[in-house]
Structure 1
């Protein structure tokens, strides 16, 4: 059973009332960190405003209010009706408080003395009697809330006694459910009555606990949300699982061949307690280090050794895979620390350990104190802070931590920080780290005396097994396995491939694929295996030379297609497979004429199959498709494309190869932004609504924002505003789908009526100036009101969540809009006589 709707509403009411009272109290001091890193006055006030807006939104979207608006529901109880009225009253009290805080923020200036209370700031715009008057009204409302909630719980208890309605079980209950159950027990035990002042006061203390647990729960969820970042595990998912029968040697502690140069193998190292707590896996580029690391992550075959080391202490296993081709966080120390903290805390709190969530407060004490004080602590993480929290986490010697960290050489910065982090952490007896990297000088100097494994020295048999598997799967070669001599020749080929690869799995992968591309030559009339043998002799030993040969043997059409995809993927990062198919359309205006409807399953399948065929045949498997969810669901949204290996990406980016790619695609005449603008509009128009609970949700914001971003990039290039394109974006996102838009898709709290609302809010000056002349007056007025309300609600740096890394939108958002505002004011007036039109240069457009 879910919490009673009255409890949810009362919780929201008490939270906003109590926080507002704290803001008004002269006794309530602002928390400032003891390290002297003071929070500036404007930031303090913005944090308080953000928290009030959050609580107001929570108040506006409570379940009881939704029930009251449902015509199918019967009449609400007297207590519920009164709580709804108190909600309206509280909103009326909180709104002027927000306005006053914003006025104080605007009135302040840099260098003002630091406030010790938020009340001091309010007294710069309000009189003392205004502050005390509002505080008194809020406290009166709080008393009424306590009384009404007590009445609601009392009525439920009476009803349950009469009808046998269930009361909560403590098992698997949420914090609100547990609180409600405890409160009901207290009401029943003490026989509290809503009309007795002393009883209400006693019950009020239980309500205070509700606010406490709700605030803690919100803080915990926000910390997890700020640690988490999109695509955190994508690099792990790009890696194929190890082929059957490969890398098994690493789990054999009795095999002398698996011993490392430094005495012990991985399993022995895991169970060892001598203090050698860092194990380095290294090897040539493409030798299979990352595939090996993936096979080790949470592998049950490691557990006996880990248990031998950890003894009775609970163990935490987590990992991180750096990715040089990924986003900034995927190749930074910040991303590493956020991922490790997020995964470890999830394991400790929600895994078998089920530890107290107060652990989050202990790891982020300053943030918790700021949040409890004035709603702060929600700013972006810094690396020093994350490092401190990480050190606090692993300092608990009652837990053992085993961390796998892959691809240290893919870090964006110099290796000093990561080396210091690893060596410092592994000085602790309760931490073991298995890390992998190429044998770069920095890592060689730091780790060469540590237990280590050189992968390419161990993989000869693995590569033989892989090549044999690929040969066995090839239908054309299977027809040739008729005579013993041919079997012997095949074994010789497999052996030669393993020898020539020199332990580099990537060479074996590309070389085998190159051999099997001889499809037309492998027929029963000729000795196909000898053809393969001849081709094998022509494969160069060097990996870069092999890649050069692959490019040079491409036909003109294949080279053109592969080059297009190189440029499209480079411009995007690692796009979705369906999105890439949209961007590969040579007609960059095709999306303008496309229907606004989800694609049929047959249409999606054809696009995906065609794109996969292009990647494997024309592009010679230089790219790979992977599933970001880590499952095999093959959800269209989870299928993405990237380079098959970092070595291929590095090779493509060498000057002679990139020059050849650019030449094949027309050099400067190829605009990746144009193709991706077309793809983004295709994605927007074909979005599929998804059912969440009982409603259809259409998540449009990401595609909408990318459409705007690419339109602005193109405008920067030729100074032409993409009016036709943006009009179509607005039609696809807002006009044609108005009834489908969920409150989750666009900023909450204000309603979008047209694309002009979005354009004014984001300050798309060229587009707005062009459209203002022909727009209806009410549309312009609504756009101005929408922008004002949203910027007020989001506050300073409010674009962080909505704009993110879209640099061109961020630039537009932050520009001065004074002249544009004057132009909008002019067109919004009903009568323009005697009013001069502001000067605003109308840009070129198409």
Structure 2
């Protein structure tokens, strides 16, 4: 038998036993924060219950546990069977403890004095002997687990020795902590020749298991903090920035400027100012320059002169006006810099102990260890304290690059103050970029700096010449000319008009080389160049005005769809662009074939290039990476966004918005309806994702939640419940996936299996849908929906829903609304006989 499933199950059992023993002990004092509001009794008990739930689920999700339910499974060893029996005992005890914790929570009130221990709370529902009794039962199970685990590992070692199989995995810093747990335990058994029948050996083994379990708890906390710091699409802005065009920025490899304005020299200086400002006009290429120098081998050479023997940590962040709230906020900045720095320290060449996370978030670690707390959302104050504590370690040198300060949402004064405070430290250097707005010029004009557009004339010429040389029509015309003078004249005129603005040059050359009905000649190209406005904003208007009415209508729809979403996946945008907004309802429930995906993606590329004139761009983004625990990997996705902030600002100007409104017509185009259709398509075409050890995972929840959100947004506008749409959503998410749910993992909420969309609707408090559907539903369906509601609300606790509905405005409002009459209605229809029961009056809304 492979040891990992047994070790994994033993680890899960031990974790839940150790936590249960701790919270039932008198000396486990609840840690309260030193600053701010103390944690109330209800939150403490809810955190304890949530942690018990989480640890219980780890038992259910274990491979050995899954294997035990397979009728075709091979015969398990006696040690494995014993471990399964002990896991069942542990779950029974845990359920009893969870119920007691929740009962104590229900009995308490905000007026109660703060409990010093969880045991003190339990004493309000249990007698002392009951608390002592369950604690003893947990400890007895723990002893049996240690023996069963030792037997399982001893058997594996003996079998490996007989067959010549390798006993231990190769040492690897990325190894899963449970696998390392297993290897350390086997190493100790092998080295000390421990036997399960030797009492002293078992005691020594138990002490080792205690240490390994503690290390695992620390690893889990570390991973949880990483999850709390990281946010979706953290690296998307960096991905969306086009790399420097071949042959450009070669000047920046050489040092330039005078005095302390020389960038490479500044990187290597051990004294002087620690902030360098890159500025320039909009479109001059600041973000491209920053991306070019981020983790650049040439910058490494200079930084090593500055850092000397001290280890260097590098992290970066790009503010993004076209992105999410976190992507253009100071909170997003700190989360990104913390995440990258800690990854560098723990998983990079330094291989630092993960305990650094416990040091940076000490109070949260104390709460996590004491009662499973500390995982509440991080505040900006939490992040700033952790960041400042991290850079206070003068044994390390920190180099940060922060792009696009002018794309910060709100006023920049607080951000400027933060940057100035951080760069007072000798062990921190920061490079920032922004437009030359008064706030930044006033703060940074006396710092080392340069204006990028003063250096880009040569790069623009290299770029334009290369693009022209790749155009067949242009090459044909130039080959007929007697000299290269006309060619140089056209390019020279464009370089002069660009005036250091790379964005202007890229737009202009694309417009000049666009296809026309008549074969162009050199004079035609020259006339096109002469007609181009030198101002970027006027150039954008000139390009937009050149579109045919149909192309302009398509462009307006695409702009509106992107504005309503943020930056969508290109395939989802193709679904949303479908003029038939009910196509998702009639679509088949199956993954798209590769040819279908290719056709849709190619069509969108054509629309974005021709109808949108490249105002919208496609970039490759990675949705997630291996997190070290779940092993989930997603393929890179093509995303669509504005090619530049200037384009978004231009499209959002009042003049252009009035044009778009005139084109689309008032009420003709409903972006929420389009995105509701798109999300249903995405739900129906969801693919199985391959996880660790060949397991498959079905991503359902995110699309399901967004389907509901858009249905609620539409209902908010016309007060009509989208019953037909939500019925299809429920069928796609639950009914069609039932067979897969039995065989594979899903990301639906755990605690109780939903049998129909009515379950989800009652849990999320979709009052309109429930009111319409309760009467026609079977009695047992209404009864199950109420039970599902109670289970999920109990399982998640106050605030636990944010994992599932966070960021969705209408869904959050619905969830937090109180509708007691809905449950009266469900109870009424759940009864077998209703002759003597008056029917509750509930106004039934219109459904469509």
Per-residue CA distance 1:163-191 (angstroms, 9 max, x = gap):
44543256225444444444345445655
Specify the alignment match of 2:114 in structure 1. 114
Alignment map for 1:657-806 (pairs within 5 Å) = 657-692=656-691, 693-741=693-741, 742-806=744-808
Shift in CA distance, 790/511, structure 1 to aligned 2, threshold 3 Å: same
Per-residue CA distance 1:496-534 (angstroms, 9 max, x = gap):
1111111111111222222122533444xxxx1211211
Q: Does 1:616 align with 2:609?
A: yes
Q: Secondary structure at the match of 1:570?
A: helix
Greater mean alpha carbon deviation, residues 530-539 or residues 621-630: 621-630
Q: Does 1:200 align with 2:202?
A: yes
Structure 2 gap segments, 5+ residues each = 625-633
Q: Which of the numbers 473, 478, 482 marks the counterpart of 2:479?
A: 482
Distance in 1 of aligned mates of 2:565 and 2:12: 42
Distance in 2 of aligned mates of 1:36 and 1:682: 46
Q: Secondary structure at the match of 1:281?
A: strand
Distance in 2 of aligned mates of 1:478 and 1:630: 41
Q: Secondary structure at the match of 1:690?
A: strand
In the alignment, is the contact (CA less than 8 A) between 2:261 and 2:450 conserved in 1?
no
Greater mean alpha carbon deviation, residues 322-331 or residues 296-305: 296-305
Alignment map for 1:219-368 (pairs within 5 Å) = 219-253=221-255, 258-259=256-257, 263-368=260-365
Shift in CA distance, 73/607, structure 1 to aligned 2, threshold 3 Å: closer
- Paired positions, count: 834
Deviation of 1:280 (Å) = 0.4
Q: Secondary structure at the match of 2:686?
A: coil
Per-residue CA distance 1:77-133 (angstroms, 9 max, x = gap):
222222211111111111121112112222222232111101111122222222122
Specify the alignment match of 1:90 in structure 2. 90
In the alignment, is the contact (CA less than 8 A) between 1:477 and 1:522 conserved in 2?
no
Greater mean alpha carbon deviation, residues 468-477 or residues 201-210: 201-210
Q: Secondary structure at the match of 1:280?
A: strand
Q: Secondary structure at the match of 1:706?
A: helix
Deviation of 1:149 (Å) = 2.4
Deviation of 1:698 (Å) = 2.4
In the alignment, is the contact (CA less than 8 A) between 1:437 and 1:443 conserved in 2?
yes
Query: TM-score when scaled to structure 2?
Result: 0.95
- Deviation >6 Å, runs of 4+: none
Alignment map for 1:168-567 (pairs within 5 Å) = 168-169=168-169, 171-172=171-172, 174-187=176-189, 192-253=194-255, 258-259=256-257, 263-485=260-482, 487-517=484-514, 519-523=516-520, 528-567=521-560
Specify the alignment match of 2:50 in structure 1. 50
Structure 1 gap segments, 5+ residues each = none
Shift in CA distance, 490/139, structure 1 to aligned 2, threshold 3 Å: same
Greater mean alpha carbon deviation, residues 482-491 or residues 617-626: 482-491
Distance in 1 of aligned mates of 2:210 and 2:478: 79
Q: Which of the numbers 812, 821, 824 marks the counterpart of 2:823?
A: 821
How large is the Cα RMSD of the aligned pairs?
2.0
Shift in CA distance, 730/462, structure 1 to aligned 2, threshold 3 Å: same
Shift in CA distance, 601/313, structure 1 to aligned 2, threshold 3 Å: same
Specify the alignment match of 1:572 in structure 2. 565
Deviation of 1:205 (Å) = 1.3
Distance in 2 of aligned mates of 1:185 and 1:589: 61
Shift in CA distance, 165/513, structure 1 to aligned 2, threshold 3 Å: closer
Q: Does 1:585 align with 2:583?
A: no
Distance in 2 of aligned mates of 1:651 and 1:178: 55
Per-residue CA distance 1:694-747 (angstroms, 9 max, x = gap):
344321222111111111100111000001111111122222232224433211
In the alignment, is the contact (CA less than 8 A) between 1:486 and 1:529 conserved in 2?
no
Q: Secondary structure at the match of 2:478?
A: coil
Distance in 2 of aligned mates of 1:785 and 1:399: 55
Alignment map for 1:153-172 (pairs within 5 Å) = 153-169=153-169, 171-172=171-172
In the alignment, is the contact (CA less than 8 A) between 2:696 and 2:745 conserved in 1?
no
Distance in 2 of aligned mates of 1:301 and 1:429: 22
Specify the alignment match of 1:139 in structure 2. 139
Q: Secondary structure at the match of 2:89?
A: helix
Query: TM-score when scaled to structure 1?
Result: 0.95
In the alignment, is the contact (CA less than 8 A) between 1:324 and 1:646 conserved in 2?
yes
Distance in 1 of aligned mates of 2:739 and 2:753: 12
Distance in 2 of aligned mates of 1:66 and 1:658: 56
Distance in 2 of aligned mates of 1:217 and 1:465: 51
Per-residue CA distance 1:765-793 (angstroms, 9 max, x = gap):
11111111111122222222222111111
Q: Secondary structure at the match of 1:34?
A: coil
In the alignment, is the contact (CA less than 8 A) between 1:237 and 1:630 conserved in 2?
no
Shift in CA distance, 610/162, structure 1 to aligned 2, threshold 3 Å: closer
Distance in 2 of aligned mates of 1:374 and 1:507: 58
Q: Secondary structure at the match of 1:482?
A: helix
Shift in CA distance, 585/159, structure 1 to aligned 2, threshold 3 Å: closer
In the alignment, is the contact (CA less than 8 A) between 1:515 and 1:532 conserved in 2?
yes
Q: Secondary structure at the match of 1:728?
A: helix
In the alignment, is the contact (CA less than 8 A) between 1:26 and 1:117 conserved in 2?
yes
Greater mean alpha carbon deviation, residues 151-160 or residues 438-447: 151-160
Q: Secondary structure at the match of 2:517?
A: helix
Greater mean alpha carbon deviation, residues 580-589 or residues 738-747: 738-747
Distance in 1 of aligned mates of 2:371 and 2:623: 40
Shift in CA distance, 171/520, structure 1 to aligned 2, threshold 3 Å: same
In the alignment, is the contact (CA less than 8 A) between 2:617 and 2:641 conserved in 1?
yes
In the alignment, is the contact (CA less than 8 A) between 1:476 and 1:519 conserved in 2?
no
Deviation of 1:841 (Å) = 1.0
Distance in 1 of aligned mates of 2:106 and 2:613: 60
Q: Secondary structure at the match of 1:638?
A: strand
In the alignment, is the contact (CA less than 8 A) between 2:280 and 2:286 conserved in 1?
yes
Greater mean alpha carbon deviation, residues 195-204 or residues 485-494: 195-204
Shift in CA distance, 100/607, structure 1 to aligned 2, threshold 3 Å: same
Shift in CA distance, 177/777, structure 1 to aligned 2, threshold 3 Å: same
Deviation of 1:192 (Å) = 4.7
Greater mean alpha carbon deviation, residues 206-215 or residues 324-333: 206-215
Shift in CA distance, 187/506, structure 1 to aligned 2, threshold 3 Å: closer
In the alignment, is the contact (CA less than 8 A) between 2:17 and 2:138 conserved in 1?
yes
Specify the alignment match of 2:127 in structure 1. 127
Deviation of 1:206 (Å) = 1.5
Q: Secondary structure at the match of 1:336?
A: helix
Specify the alignment match of 1:640 in structure 2. 639
Distance in 1 of aligned mates of 2:2 and 2:617: 45
Per-residue CA distance 1:235-267 (angstroms, 9 max, x = gap):
1111111111112211102xxxx315x543111
Shift in CA distance, 239/188, structure 1 to aligned 2, threshold 3 Å: closer
Distance in 2 of aligned mates of 1:529 and 1:115: 85
